[in-house]
Amino acid sequence: MTDPNIPVTEDELHAYVDNELPAERRGDVEAWLTAHPDDAARVRSWRTMAEALRARYDSVADEAVPRRLEIEQLVQQPRKWVYGAIAAALAAFIVGGGVGWLARGASAAPSAIQSFTTEALDAHRLYVVEVRHPVEVPGSERAHLQKWLSKRCGWVVRAPELTAVGLKLVGGRLLPGPAGPASFMMYESASGERITIYTAKSDAEATQMRYQEQGKENSLFWADDGVAYAVVSSGIDRERLTPIAQAVYDQLEKSGG
Amino acid sequence: MTAFRQSVEAMIPALRRYARALARDADIADDLVQDTLVRALRSERLFLGGDVRSWLYTILTNLNKNRRRSLARRPQFMPLLDNNPDASGTEAEGRDIARALSTLVEEQRSVLLLVMLEGLSYREVADIQGVPIGTVMSRLARARAHVKASLEGERAALRRVK
């Protein structure tokens, strides 16, 4: 044991708390702290500080790692994706140009769900052919997109993870809906097919999932707790669209959105 | 997956924690982690053994320094601490500590977090910051004193309001 009468320095107090102090000096510091309540209080406050830090930030390490941070995602070449998307959007434009307007309803007083699906289809047709600016916030900023849309829309907006059904998030944007703001998200398959998810406040009754074909577009829609959802595609048949909508539905249910 | 990639992957949760405390904004923090990982994976062939953990913390710390340097040329915004969605049970305490952190200068915040949150040794932090151990210790001492004063000042202010 070293001489307990050697005064303990500030550095040693820190080293003591951080387990950096040589073992033979620990006893001296402990004796010092008993005799010096001011220093003992400071050491305690540093320990409390460490606990507060861990209480605040340890949960971050327990969160599921976002997809954009997965190693597999990061080692992929991002370039291929962009060219595929451009080619696919051009094809969609050539094949589908102008067909959409046929579907506009002639009904004088549309029901809540009708006006909702009309908006959803219009948004889909308008943006699905867009090559350079299909979305305002790209899918690479998923967390920001969700936060921003949730804030603007007033309900929890989630961009569901649809890689299991072969779709990647292109991104999303904010749109005017039938009654206030609406969230709009676009997904794309490896071969460039695009589906969109449109969400808005709606007076529509809570419904089971319904299917609708209108011109070239087909959609599945439902309403839940005052918020209506539509999953819209151009030319993806019902058998393929149903599991996609189901995946969207399941994930929104789980997140309580 | 290579052993190198596995050891990088194993560090992602800790890097996210460090980045969140360092940048105090969830999106910016994950951007930092993403840039760190991209840079690390790109340098896989350049990595000649050694401590992957320290190396990743070094990249992230430097990226954050660069980010703040470029921010310094633009108008400053206050971080949105109060509506942070991941505030949990001890919410008020978490807000206090986050606010106290935000008043530290960059090098001190980084030292404080690497030692107190990530449990790195003084030696490792000295290597990460590229400074002598003595500098790490004085930064840590100043950071602790500052955070302590900031937390106590806040409580005193609260008491006055009540």
What is the distance in angstroms between the Cα of A146 and the nearest Cα belonging to chain B?
Answer: 11
pLDDT digit string (tens) for B88-141?
A: 445 566 678 998 998 899 999 999 999 999 999 999 999 999 899 999 999 999
By C-alpha distance, the chain A residue nearest B152 is A45
A64 contacts chain B (CB < 8 A): no
For B28, the closest chain A residue by CA position comes to A144
Q: Please answer whether residues A210 and A222 qualify as being in contact, where contact means their C-beta atoms are separated by less than 8 angstroms.
A: yes
The pLDDT confidence band at residue A214, using thresholds 50, 70 and 90, is confident
Distance from CA of A107 to the nearest CA of B (A): 43
CATH classification code of A79-255: 3.30.200.100
Is B40 near chain A, with CB under 8 Å?
Answer: no
Work out the minimum CA distance from A80 to partner chain B, whole angstroms: 17
The answer to whether the CB of A148 falls within 8 A of the CB of B80 is no
Q: Give tens-digit pLDDT for A22-60.
A: 999 999 999 999 999 999 999 999 999 999 999 999 999
pLDDT band at residue B153 under the 50/70/90 scheme:
confident
Residue spans per domain, chain A: 10-62, 79-255
Tokens of B121: 């040794």
Residue A102: which residues within 8 A CB-CB, separation 6 or more?
A: A215
Share of chain B above pLDDT 70, in %: 75
Q: Token pair 């340098």 is at which residue? A: B43
A–B interface: beta-carbon pairs under 8 A: 102
pLDDT confidence of residue B72: 54
Confidence (pLDDT) at B78? 44
Q: Which residues of B touch A59 (CB under 8 A)?
A: 86, 88
Q: Taking a C-beta distance cutoff of 8 angstroms, is the pair A172, A135 a contact?
A: yes
Cα B137 → chain centroid: 17
CB contact under 8 A, B27 and A69: no
Task: Tell how many helices (H) and how many strands (E) occur in chain A.
Answer: 8, 7
Interface residue A143 vs chain B (CB under 8 A): yes
**If we measure between CA atoms, which residue out of B101, B3, B8, B4 comes closest to residue B59?**
B8
pTM of the predicted model, to two decimals? 0.54
Do the chains contact at B13 and A66, CB–CB below 8 Å? no
B143/A257 Cα distance (integer angstroms): 41
Buried b (16+ CB within 10 A) or exposed e, A24-48: ebeebbeebbeeeeebeebbebbee
Q: Check if A58 contacts B (Cβ < 8 Å).
A: yes
For chain B, the domains span 1-79, 90-162
Q: A255 pLDDT band (50/70/90 cuts)?
A: low
Interchain proximity B13–A147, CB inside 8 Å: no
- In A, which residues are within 8 Å of B155 by CB distance? none
Average pLDDT over residues A140-154: 92
Residue B82 pLDDT greater than 50, yes or no: no
With respect to CATH, is domain B90-162 assigned 2.60.40.3880? no
CB contact under 8 A, B30 and A58: no
- Fold category of B1-79 in CATH: Rna Polymerase Sigma Factor; Chain: A (1.10.1740)
**Strand ranges across the sheet with A180-189:** A137-138, A167-177, A180-189, A194-201, A227-234, A217-224, A210-214
CB pair distance less than 8 Å for B86 and A63: yes
Cβ pair B13, A61 in contact under 8 A: yes
**B residues 43-82 near A, CB within 8 Å?**
none
Give the C-alpha distances (Å, rounded to integers) separating A142 from A61, A116, A252, B15, B146: 19, 25, 15, 19, 36
Q: Which residue in B15, B17, B38 has the most chain A C-beta atoms within 10 A of its own C-beta, making it the best mutation to test that interface?
A: B17
Burial of residue A155 (number of CB atoms within 10 Å: 0-12, 13-18, 19+): middle
Q: What is the mean pLDDT of residues B24-43?
A: 88
Task: Give the pLDDT of residue B25.
Answer: 85
Q: What whole-number distance in Å separates Cα of residue A176 and Cα of residue A181?
A: 5
User: With contact defined as beta carbons under 8 Å apart, do A145 and A172 qualify?
Assistant: yes
pLDDT for position B69: 65
Position A127 scores a pLDDT of 87
